[in-house]
Structure 1
């Protein structure tokens, strides 16, 4: 059996079966099966079913409206139930019986729909299809077993309509949609050949989603969001089935997962779902807190907005000679619309787009469109994508690959103003403008929904700590520990106690953490540091030396801690000696180099070689803000203030909330009489309240 590329259309894939048939042609199959779908006399005058037909007829003279009403009746009022036991599974259930019991398989539903359409004067015929391998039908031998499904082919005003009674949610707007079955066999007494089913985009997307995000608090902060998704097709049917068979709570969990696909890093607070009868869609709504993924690139904060190209992939392999004439399938039929509106901070002033604000009409077989704009404080992007409609011809593969590469090099992003203030400034402004209140309200709502779960308190405490409201964060962390007294949560509270200046309580939480996990490296490191700063230096050093001697993946971490404690307590030479051996073993480790540079700088020894250590570490580091801070300290010790300020500025450009660099910049500005000293020092203390205490150990004060 010849191997084919996985992205080859189905008709090129080898058939893993052996077939034998007694039918001479597809026409023979059609003629043989056609009598099973005769509708004459199947709707008795005066019967309940006849009454339903009369209602449809009386409501409109328009054949399209009548066809849509008939299809809705069969889809919505008759449950699908597979029945494969009668007469080789080929004989459909009588329409009157189907309507009476209100269930039936595809054969029963098709015959019922066909009978209703004929009563309404609409030209229609039963049509066999294969729901999974329709593209392969022309390669197969003619036989009824080549098909696994039957639908209706209707003709209205010269237009062919493919109507599937087993689907769900079809309305007037959807009559022209083509199910992705590729080929069909009309059942006619005179016989018929296979008909192609040309694919095109559905009138309505499978997922029609609107998201609104309130990002007024600023870049990098949580943002309340609201989502509404109207779902059709398989996902809608799955949610309806889950609600019916698994219960509402399970269906809501599935709805929450659906919402999470459209909102980055979402914490769902509210979610709901309901079936809208008029539109035939499952409506999912959700609200909560998003965390937009802003990242700094080339000195500007940027947020990825491109969703259309997420659905486009194109990496076909046609290197083999036998494959060079095989087109590329673009996958299953799917369509989506995602409209995102973001309320920007600062009234939207200075925000812009980067990348393509429009898209090519087709790309790698996908049908695309985009609208993007900024009006006032609102940024809006609407992406539409349809896949599975077109194939890429062999001759177009090279050009298509280039088009996709080019498109991916211009992904749409929101770009924040170049003068975007650092986070600590945004926090101060946001507190004054009370734009954190919607975020806190969302967290409060989440907690109120289930106050016995730790997740709500955890989320709010994380946010409160991030805006330096440690007292409020502490109250939530205490509730978290009452529910989930884990090692990590005790260490979290210890960190808060330490920031608030209560090392005794911090040590109490660290002790609790070590009881829960005696091997916790984080707990041991925090314990040793606090004990040393509390005066028990020998005890701390003994603990750390033992950890270094034990080796393992944490060895270098504790070696650097040991060196720092030695240097802080009058033994910088011993500290450097310990680091020298480690660096000799790993000369390209920027963390070890930075540690040696830092200790030389804080201890005021070997400052010339300290500069070399830091410079080499900067060259080796992917994110060197911490090393720039260390080198800035060395320049400060050398009295080279301009170079020190340059390094602190560079460190803060990469990490705007680096308390150490803010503090040292404030110190230099204070000593030189430059503007901004008090603001820098206040910001550093807000970010880390004990930063002045830390630097006092090195003899540095404003």
Structure 2
């Protein structure tokens, strides 16, 4: 059974508070201060969550937390989830008392505690994957006899005393909003009126009801609260902090700082003559420069002390001593910070511990003063008047990167005299977090894949992430990491990669080689390559259209600096190439980001060097429209490589194509060698060989892939290769298998086409007859039927199917084009063909396909000039349209023009089966 976790541990890990009890469950009545809920009224509401009642009492340094929950068991899934109840607590900080476990069936109560229900107490560290040990215990109760239709009700109380707070108390409880539905929900906190405890609301929390009675103040809210106002994702954290009720005995942030400060006192905590003292001496001897010493100390703490949050034995707020942390070789943020503080103080460097919120630092300013506002501890060192924020739990920090200010928003200095929140003042980094150097070899041409050579240099945390990858020895693992990294940068695949990490400099490198699947976008006779670098293709489009959002600023994240150096080697030494947009970009600030770019174009090589850098900040709502305009203006000038009338792949001889593709086969070989049992890489190599017109070699690879996996995609690829080789009968078998594997309409039509090309059009029509389709699919089948019916005695039927489809979709350009093509290919109703084709061309907005169909009809009618005009227009739109090129070659040869032979040769390079297809239509070049 799946267990339901209903532990009463405070929702923020840092809130757990120590008390002294035992590791046994206490069974007792609910505390006398608990106000019972009206359970019968809650049941009447008929909700799945019948009851959720949470009440807290803050008194005498102890936070007591009572929870009463009831679920209606409405189906077998809920029954399975409720089969085992789990109650969690921290035995070194308090105890667990279970008050009730009951089944309510048909209005009658079955008291499982009175019936002697058993339980098991286990210690289970559920946070080990996050390197957290908290010593929590869990009491498991298996619920006997629970049925669908029952209500399961259970209640418990946990106590928490935090010895680190010197008798002070704190509690923060989130508020459940609609649309969650509850039969009855309540959150209630109370404390002695003279205890100094006060409360505050967080986020979009409503004002509670407050009452004073019998010397206690009570704050209460009914749950769920109203639905929260949605906030934009790019808003600062203070606008998105979840609603909560906070209470505690701290009046000011100074109180919090003063209570916590003693735990971070480090004077005389390093024993003379110890190995830790020797480490301090080593750092002191290494350099007289205080900043260099601070960097070395930080490196020691980051590199030599593993991270492990030990929350056992009151450890949530109490750090280990420096000597203990050094001896153990591990510690959490508190332990690492105390160790770093001790080392820095020994080195006579001014430094103090600082509480921060690592996830929602901007929201801390909205919190009531409580230690629970924070989840992390760092060290602030002051050297020559400059503040340095040192995080012992981070990684890869070195002298070059130590100036970087983390995105923590606000921090609280821990001083015995007290302190107020301080805002972290950002500054621009002195070094790039990532420098990417990449050479793109686009010289093979605009139709063929390109290769790239990449070197990514990283510092700081980014470099530290590469350290683990640098230790990998399995080339498959290395390639996998590199592929994942480059997926956000390139469309294609990595075939060679290596990682390295230099611990002295803290610099990591990824060096990789890969293939870009598509280097150029093609439109008519223009090829374009968008330049993607650090300064290009940025977006800034915050949505502030809602009235409630119009005063919400935009959050700039960071800090992050990227530098890119890109080199592009162009086809044909840059012939016909120009650069559109703005190559150079003087240093410019847009949307909180600094941009700078320089570009040169010489001897067929484009070189771009640029950088983008941003640090945490905000853009006022009033400035967002102007910032959007500035970003659009900058983006409109993004550079782009444009090549006019480039040489296309069909203009290349077989030898030239083979030579150009050869450099692409080698990368595929590497992947096939690494993964010999992976069919996808064989299919990749087969596709590359097909590009190089090595059809026999491509067939060998696709057959190997089929032997391994036999996917429909592999059989479809095999059919394409066989068709190019003129082996139409074998292509039929491959398409048949693909169709049998998928049953898809697309595979069925490919099978029918293959049958027709093999001279078995009747079988293709029979196949289409067997397909039961409707709607748009029926229209598709009609077009395919007509396409292959002309050589059979069912041509009239094909025409009728097109007409019927058009009656359901009047003016459909694809169907009109199919009619035009039917007239041209099969000489059907030719006298009406020109008028019909005019309609098709206009409906299709003069598409290349429609123009090609009309050209065929004009050719049948002997109107060759008009046919050539249409074919020329079609090839301007779609230069790779083999049918247009082939028919133009036939017409030119018929007119005695030698250019016709070039057209036919290039058409055959594009589609080797084009001649066989046109022979079916009764059209062949003049001999």
* Fold in common (TM above 0.5): yes
Q: C-alpha separation between the residues in 2 aligned to 1:333 and 1:560? A: 57
Q: Which residue of 2 aligns with 1:592?
A: 815
Match of 1:671 among 858, 870, 894: 894
Match of 1:354 among 575, 580, 587: 580
Q: Which residue of 1 aligns with 2:544?
A: 317
Shift of 1:222: 1.5
CA contact (8 A) 2:404 2:427 kept: yes
Match of 2:801 among 578, 582, 599: 578
Change in CA separation of 1:183 and 1:468 when aligned onto 2, cut-off 3 Å: same
TM-score normalised according to structure 1 size? 0.91
Match of 1:328 among 554, 558, 582: 554
Shift of 1:14: 5.1
TM-superposition CA deviations, 1:342-388 (whole Å, max 9, x none)? 22211223322223434562222233233333232332334433345
Q: C-alpha separation between the residues in 2 aligned to 1:95 and 1:623? A: 79
Match of 1:685 among 871, 886, 908: 908
Q: Secondary structure at the match of 2:528?
A: strand
Q: Secondary structure at the match of 1:166?
A: coil
Q: Which residue of 2 aligns with 1:95?
A: 322
Change in CA separation of 1:520 and 1:166 when aligned onto 2, cut-off 3 Å: closer
* 1:637-652 equivalent positions in 2, closer than 5 A: 637-652=860-875
Q: C-alpha separation between the residues in 1 aligned to 2:476 and 2:604? A: 37
1:272 maps to 2:486:
no
Match of 1:496 among 721, 742, 746: 721
Shift of 1:217: 1.0
Moved more, 497-506 or 332-341: 332-341
Change in CA separation of 1:36 and 1:426 when aligned onto 2, cut-off 3 Å: farther
Q: C-alpha separation between the residues in 2 aligned to 1:386 and 1:617? A: 53
Change in CA separation of 1:688 and 1:110 when aligned onto 2, cut-off 3 Å: same
1:461 maps to 2:676:
no
Q: C-alpha separation between the residues in 2 aligned to 1:615 and 1:386? A: 56
1:483 maps to 2:693:
no
Q: Which residue of 2 aligns with 1:654?
A: 877
Match of 2:826 among 603, 607, 612: 603
Gaps of 5+ in 1: none
Shift of 1:88: 5.6
Q: Which residue of 1 aligns with 2:351?
A: 124
1:63 maps to 2:286:
no
Q: C-alpha separation between the residues in 2 aligned to 1:148 and 1:18? A: 18
Shift of 1:252: 5.6
CA contact (8 A) 1:39 1:114 kept: yes
Q: C-alpha separation between the residues in 1 aligned to 2:508 and 2:321? A: 31
Q: Secondary structure at the match of 1:135?
A: helix
CA contact (8 A) 1:75 1:168 kept: yes
Change in CA separation of 1:587 and 1:82 when aligned onto 2, cut-off 3 Å: same
1:136 maps to 2:359:
no
Shift of 1:459: 0.7
CA contact (8 A) 1:316 1:328 kept: no
Q: C-alpha separation between the residues in 1 aligned to 2:665 and 2:704? A: 17
Q: Which residue of 1 aligns with 2:311?
A: 84
CA contact (8 A) 1:292 1:303 kept: no
Q: Which residue of 1 aligns with 2:765?
A: 541
Q: C-alpha separation between the residues in 1 aligned to 2:362 and 2:252? A: 18
Q: Which residue of 2 aligns with 1:22?
A: 249
Structure with greater helix share of residues: 1
The CA RMSD measured in Å over matched residues stands at 2.9
Q: Secondary structure at the match of 1:473?
A: helix
Q: C-alpha separation between the residues in 2 aligned to 1:652 and 1:379? A: 30
Q: Which has the higher contact order (CA 8 A, sep 6+)?
A: 1
TM-score normalised according to structure 2 size? 0.70
Change in CA separation of 1:149 and 1:680 when aligned onto 2, cut-off 3 Å: same
Change in CA separation of 1:458 and 1:554 when aligned onto 2, cut-off 3 Å: same
CA contact (8 A) 1:370 1:381 kept: yes
Match of 1:384 among 589, 596, 611: 611
Q: Which residue of 1 aligns with 2:530?
A: 304
Match of 1:212 among 431, 436, 439: 439
Q: C-alpha separation between the residues in 1 aligned to 2:755 and 2:241? A: 71
CA contact (8 A) 1:296 1:302 kept: yes
Q: Secondary structure at the match of 2:511?
A: strand
Q: Secondary structure at the match of 1:597?
A: helix
TM-superposition CA deviations, 1:157-180 (whole Å, max 9, x none)? 111111111110011111211011
Q: C-alpha separation between the residues in 2 aligned to 1:458 and 1:570? A: 40
Change in CA separation of 1:260 and 1:528 when aligned onto 2, cut-off 3 Å: closer
Shift of 1:199: 2.2
Shift of 1:458: 0.7
Shift of 1:309: 4.8
Q: C-alpha separation between the residues in 2 aligned to 1:509 and 1:255? A: 35
Shift of 1:558: 2.8
CA contact (8 A) 2:883 2:914 kept: yes
CA contact (8 A) 1:124 1:152 kept: yes
Task: Answer with 1 or 2: which has the greater Rg.
Answer: 2
Q: Secondary structure at the match of 1:19?
A: strand
Shift of 1:221: 1.2
CA contact (8 A) 1:4 1:12 kept: no
Q: C-alpha separation between the residues in 2 aligned to 1:3 and 1:609? A: 64
Q: C-alpha separation between the residues in 1 aligned to 2:249 and 2:757? A: 91
Match of 1:160 among 387, 402, 408: 387
Q: C-alpha separation between the residues in 1 aligned to 2:845 and 2:264? A: 70
Q: Which residue of 2 aligns with 1:41?
A: 268
Gaps of 5+ in 2: 1-203, 205-227
Shift of 1:428: 5.0
Q: Secondary structure at the match of 1:361?
A: strand
Change in CA separation of 1:408 and 1:29 when aligned onto 2, cut-off 3 Å: same
CA contact (8 A) 2:380 2:389 kept: yes
CA contact (8 A) 2:525 2:646 kept: no
Q: C-alpha separation between the residues in 2 aligned to 1:501 and 1:563? A: 23
Moved more, 268-277 or 155-164: 268-277
Q: C-alpha separation between the residues in 2 aligned to 1:685 and 1:484? A: 32
CA contact (8 A) 1:214 1:344 kept: yes
Q: Which residue of 2 aligns with 1:174?
A: 401
Q: Which residue of 2 aligns with 1:563?
A: 786
Q: C-alpha separation between the residues in 2 aligned to 1:143 and 1:533? A: 79
Match of 1:372 among 599, 619, 633: 599
Shift of 1:573: 4.5
Q: C-alpha separation between the residues in 1 aligned to 2:240 and 2:756? A: 70
